[in-house]
A and B are shown apart, each in its own frame.
Chain A
Amino acid sequence: MTDVSVPKLIQGNQACSYGAIAAGCRFFAGYPITPSTEIAETMALELPKYGGKFIQMEDEIASISAIIGASIAGSKAMTATSGPGFSLMQENLGYAYMAEVPCVVINVMRGGPSTGLPTKVSQADVMQANWGAHGDYYPIVLSPSSVSECFDITVRAFNLSERYRCPVIILSDEVIGHMREMVSLPDFSSVEMIERQRPNVPPEWYKHFLITHDFTSPMASFGEGYRFHLTGLTHDEFGLPTSDNIEIAKKLGKLKLKIERHLSDISQVNTYKIEDAHIVILAYGSVARAARQAVLLSRKKRFKAGLFQPITLWPFPDRQLRQISRKADLIVVAELNQGQIINEVRRVCKSHSKVVGLNRYDGELITPEQILEKIKEEHR
């Protein structure tokens, strides 16, 4: 068992694994890939101590298939990968959205496309995390910016996943995944854990995709005596394929509404010195660390800057951003790609704030000084 009584120097990746175990994850299937491998290594070492199962699969397609199967059988399950593996997982991720299977997928982002830069940082999979699988679905995507956040966000990912019966994606990055910091892990038994809703009807009345008042459905596990059918085909409340237009619209509407009706629970942002800010730096993941430092640097130069950090990247925190952007003349969107989240920011605030991008895509982290320079350049 993990001794949590003393502060430790651990990596973001290790903290993700501990968070998963604390949240009740008892099945991990994966295929090693830099910069995510330490998650699998830690799970291989720790899971058996908690009665869990670790399995290294032959590739990433098999890995996500295995965790979907484990979840359907009643286990909280996770896999971890990076860009190339995340691409391979898209087809079955789509299946998990459609079949409403809770699971957690961590993508520790590195440079792409293709094999790209295995050991270098990037945030280029932000759009892929939202749109990677085909079809009309609404994913939950979370982004940590410190080792302790890696722990907390992984716990949260499991809780959201179980609560809303869907995959939850954690977009970490090479800097956060490999960075070591001092953390005090909480006692695992004190961690808030949400379990999936179980059916409270006799098996013969059970509908695996029952549409309830809040659009979530109780979930029985395979082998418990509740009969149900699972398919990637569009299905009715029993899980049987349907081409009835009313049933189709109900199903797809449910996939959207179960997320949209719970935005206040799902959507989470962090802010820093935002109360009086006229300049907002919007950053997530490792870049949020540079942005925090840049807020301090800017304030020394008498720029009233603040940080807006989406923890929930998808669904994008429209409401929170709109609120703070009313006071902002300038919004600097700093990201390690050629401009992805900036399009969301423009959609939300282009009518009242100037939105500019600060982009780095050379495998290195944006520096606080670069953000300050950008503010000097754009602020009048």
Chain B
Amino acid sequence: MKKKKTEGRYEIRLSGSGGQGLVLAGVMLAEAVGVYEGKNVTQTQSYGPEARGGTSRSDLVISDSEIYYPKPSSLDLLLSLTQDACNRYYPHLKDDGILIVDSDIVRQIPPVSNVYAFPFTHTAKEKIGTTLVANVMSAASIVIISGICKTDSFLKAVLSRAPRGTESKNETACKIGFEMSRKALKKAKG
């Protein structure tokens, strides 16, 4: 993991609105890290009682040692797929924390030093024909930008969790997510 270690913890939050599939995306990331790479991980969530809408978040704590407190306290990485979630959670980022947003939805980018903006939802609709896979695409982006696990581990986790019949769409979403993030990372490093 390329990061400054705080007690060996790496903390990630996926945030947006209920129905965007962020809890599932968080579970896929957790599985990639835990099941396929043997690291300690906890995944917790917070959402409202409604099935759609309301702020929703999925939190991951990844560590080489045993994890006691299972919730993040200061984020190494925040993904926000709505402006509301972004506004609410960016103050929890560490000074050198990374913010990833959906560039079509989060128009007002907060003053954070490490920001990546990608048109996840738009790309999913245009290239795969459904916005449903924007969650997987954005989680794929987290994999590249944070380096928490190998792309292969994430792909395995996605395919084992994706509903039957949606495997190829999810795989494509993954690959697009990896690709767009690699490009952005290269550009950022000049």
Interface set of A (CB-CB < 8 Å, partner B): 6-9, 34, 118-120, 175, 178-182, 286, 289-290, 292-293, 296, 365, 367-369
Q: Which of A118, A290, A367 contacts B49 (CB 8 A)?
A: A118
Q: Jot down 24 A-B pairs with beta carbons below 8 A, ordered by A.
A: A6-B35, A7-B34, A8-B35, A9-B27, A9-B35, A9-B41, A9-B43, A119-B47, A119-B49, A175-B71, A179-B43, A179-B44, A179-B70, A180-B43, A180-B44, A181-B41, A181-B42, A181-B43, A182-B40, A286-B70, A290-B68, A292-B68, A293-B69, A367-B73
Shortest distance between the CB of B185 and any CB in chain A (Å): 27
Give the residues from 55 to 100 in chain B that come closer than 8 angstroms, CB to CB, to chain A: 67-71, 73
Contact in complex: A175, B70 (CB < 8 Å): yes
Given the complex of chains A and B, what is the CA–CA distance between A356 and B73 in angstroms?
24
Residue-wise interface mask of B (39-53) relative to A, using a CB-CB cutoff of 8 A (1 in contact, 0 not): 011111111110000
Given known contacts A179-B43, A367-B71, what 7 new A-B pairs fall within 8 Å (CB)?
A118-B49, A119-B46, A120-B46, A181-B42, A182-B41, A289-B68, A368-B68
Given contacts A9-B27, A118-B49, contact A178 B68 (CB under 8 A): no
The answer on a CB contact under 8 Å between B34 and A182 is yes
Which chain A residue lies CB-closest to B28?
Answer: A9
What CA separation (Å) do A8 and B49 show in the bound complex? 28
Contacts of A289 in B (CB 8 A): 68-70
| A233 CA / B27 CA spacing, docked (Å) | 50
**Chain B contact residues, CB within 8 Å of chain A:** 27, 30-31, 34-35, 38, 40-49, 67-71, 73
Contacts A175-B44, A179-B44 hold; do A9 and B34 have CB atoms under 8 A apart?
yes
Contact (Cβ within 8 A) A179 B69? no
Task: Chain A residues near B48: list those with CB within 8 A.
Answer: 119
Bound-complex Cα distance A15 to B40 (A): 17
What's the Cα separation between A10 and B30 when bound, in Å?
10
Q: B residues within 8 A CB of A286?
A: 70
